[in-house]
């Protein structure tokens, strides 16, 4: 579906403007089919994933474990502080994420729930063969956007401005 959509948009762009649509960067959340469609349509495009959605993914995983969530909310908890360090990985060059992940593991509290969280991050976000490896979400701080909040806000406003197709009419 995504592939079809992008091909149609490219055709429309060519038809309406006479120019070829080409993207260099595509800002997205963590949706693999969307990434694949963009990369198949725009061969030299770089996927840039949203920091907010990465953070949300980490936090949702933490919330699934009562112990981790309770420690995360504690102000001076060793486990909570250790969990918070993971958010900083997004502000490193992608080539450094693996080494810094290893550093985090060297100071990890020896608790089973901690291991489950660390394995999740490794398998989905850190390893080279992860679904979402660091090349798409890690970057040194810069002036470039790291969020899809702007387009999502715009989309939300547009949707709410449309009239609902089922309305109640009164006389």
pLDDT digits (tens, 9 = 90+) for 51-89: 999 999 999 999 999 999 999 999 999 999 999 999 999
User: How many other β-carbons are positioned within 10 Å of the β-carbon of residue 149?
Assistant: 14
Looking at residue 161, what is its pLDDT? 57
pLDDT in tens, 111-139: 999 999 999 999 999 998 999 999 999 99
Is the pTM for the entire model greater than 0.85?
no
Query: 12 pLDDT exceeds 90?
Result: yes
CA 159, chain centre distance (Å): 23
Looking at residue 1, what is its pLDDT? 85
- For residue 22, what are its two tokens? 């080409």
First to last CA, the chain: 43
Q: Where are the domains of the chain?
A: 1-49, 50-149
Is 49 in a helix, a strand, or coil?
A: strand
Query: 4 pLDDT exceeds 60?
Result: yes
110-127 b/e with 16+ CB inside 10 Å = b?
eeebbeebbebbeebbbe
pLDDT in tens, 79-103: 999 999 999 999 999 999 999 999 9
In percent, the amount of the chain with pLDDT more than 90 equals 76
């Amino acid at each position: 579906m995504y592939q079809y959509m992008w091909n149609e948009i490219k055709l429309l762009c060519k038809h309406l403007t006479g120019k070829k649509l080409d993207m260099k960067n595509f800002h997205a959340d963590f949706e693999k089919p969307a990434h694949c469609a963009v990369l198949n349509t725009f061969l030299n495009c770089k996927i840039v994933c949203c920091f907010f959605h990465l953070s949300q993914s980490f936090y949702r995983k933490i919330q699934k474990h009562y112990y981790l969530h309770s420690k995360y909310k504690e102000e001076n908890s060793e486990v909570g502080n250790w969990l918070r360090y993971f958010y900083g990985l997004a502000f490193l060059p992608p080539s450094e994420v693996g080494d810094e992940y290893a550093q985090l593991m060297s100071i990890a509290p020896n608790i089973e729930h901690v291991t489950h969280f660390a394995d999740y991050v490794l398998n989905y976000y850190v390893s080279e063969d992860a679904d979402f490896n660091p090349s798409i979400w890690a970057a040194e701080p810069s002036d470039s956007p790291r969020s899809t909040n702007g387009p999502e806000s715009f989309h939300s406003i547009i949707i709410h401005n449309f009239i609902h197709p089922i309305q109640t009419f009164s006389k």
